[in-house]
Chains A and B, each alone.
Chain A
Amino acid sequence: MNNEYILSAEGINKSFGEAHVLKNASFTLKKGEIHGLMGENGAGKSTLIKILSGDYSRDSGTVTLDGKPVVFNSPKDAIDLGIRVIHQEISVVKPLSVAENIFLGNLPRKSNGMVNWDQLNKQAKEVLESLGEDIPVKTKVGLLPIAEQQIVEIAKALSVSPKVLIMDEPTAALNDQETSKLFSLLKKLRDKGVSIIYITHRFSEVYELTDRITVMRDGETVATLETKEVNDDKLVKLMVGEEKNAVFAHKKIQKGDRIFSVENLNVEGMLNDVSFHVNKGEIVVIFGLFGAGQNELCRAIFGDIKIDSGDIYIHNEKVSIHSVKDAIDSGIGFVSDDRKNEGIIPLQTVKENISLAALPKKLMAKFGLIKREKERELSQKYFDALNVNCSGIEQKIGSLSGGNQQKCVISRWLANDAKILLLNMPTRGVDVAARTEIYRELEALCERGVAVIVVSLEMPEVLSISDRIYVMHEKRIVGELSRDEATQEKLMSYALGIVS
């Protein structure tokens, strides 16, 4: 192999069950370069990184480090060979000191087995000094600002003199000043001969920092380019690829008046001046990269996150929502993206799961008793309407497939006559057949005058089911598109924040 590469991967395949997440992916990293790795959510970046760092084993393909083929059976193997990863979430041990964190698992000892504190602190100081940093080594890491915690983490990675450093969106929690400081540190490391893989969604960072860029899409490596050859347009085109076929034929419904709107919603650190509305007869989709604020938006509307300022209107009437109960009483329903932890109650029956939210309003008899016959009828009605596939409403929901569980969770809000339905990634972990049925039900709801708001990360889904699309980028809505004007490229450009 060409020995200008420190690390290279060829023909990597990886499947999880049915899902083929890496298809013949390849990647090369030159000695002493900073290499940007890009791609939309689910393109396979994280999986590739996990394979390169020994977190996952590959199904097929070769990885070559320093000219020698290598096999990692665990992250430790990769670390031992000089590959270190710094994940997006900082993983320092907060109650321990800076020095202890840097040499965690590798503390210098005296001959009697006790920690050699003097040597530890001295070595830690040396590592930090080599980075041009002056953080007191005896301070508890938890007391440091995030940016310095991250430096500790980098120092920890460098304490074993790695050949390859992998950084996964390290600037997500940093401000501009901290970011530029990190960049000069990374450039310094590069000049010392460390090779760096840098994952990010931010174009400006890629241009400023990297030497080469690899773009991934749908589990494949699309292209590797010199950074000076690329521009926004080219990158977006590479990331989204060909226009994909619609996954669902969404019929047009007669549009009507505005039935729901949110105005200037602000939540400190989570949402920035968000406004949008839904007209009768349309499905509104909120698109954006993962973590752009979609989840927070849903929860703020649903009363699960406290709103700092802003108004919510239902049928042009202002509603005040201070709790989940207020939201439900106003006719709002919310389907969480985390079905297992926030959706289903696995030990209870399908019937009980469907009726749960409707109990106080529709199924309460005297003395707080449940109207059992009515409960059965109500649950059966939605069980049939959404074509839930199982032995009946008395089956425990935990034993159903993802798609069928999701239908039940959606039914929970239909049973309570929700007028506004917020769905956060409703088809996550749902098979294709059930997806179509869910889309069809959303369409039917829309026709009945329910305001349907769907958060989705998948562009084919966005383009299939939406009538109007809002794109979020870093806690704010940056674009609004009708389905006819929307293309994958436009959506991605907004989501990446390169047009606004």
Chain B
Amino acid sequence: MAWPPTPQELITVSAPSPGGAGGAYRAFGETLRGLKTTMARVFEGIHTIQYPEEKVPVYPRFRGRHRLHRFEDTGLEKCVGCSLCAAACPADCIRVVAAENTPEHRISAGERYAAVYEINLSRCIFCGYCEVACPFDAITMGQDYEMSDYSRSDLIFTKEMLLAEPLDRTPLRAEGE
């Protein structure tokens, strides 16, 4: 084919020409149809939740940020530093270094306790396997899901942070709600 092609060789494709009633419908008809749905909802009231001022309650089985627990009566840590959570963790985000309890320095109920217990929450996939693996129910998944922070290192939660009572920020959905 010679270049440039002659006008006979070119095929021109163009949109239908606007104009008349068809053009007016195309311009406003569909828009009005959409607005009809919108207008119908106006009377139903406001659905937007004003996060973070307002929060949706989570379900009891929601897997949020981990919590470590103490025995309520003695105050000793439930965790004995067995590292089973670290073994179960598919994201490899838990690090446990155990140490031995002494009568003068008793941390947990058993012979050993976790001297270091760290969860790297930037790696955690919140699968809950650690909770399943724990033989002492020392670690559970809490309801807290607000964990954003300004630096990655702040997302490594230490034992003290995990043991601390979380700020009561996440409402829990009541039974049957």
Are both chains from one complex?
no
Residues of B within 8 A of A (CB): none
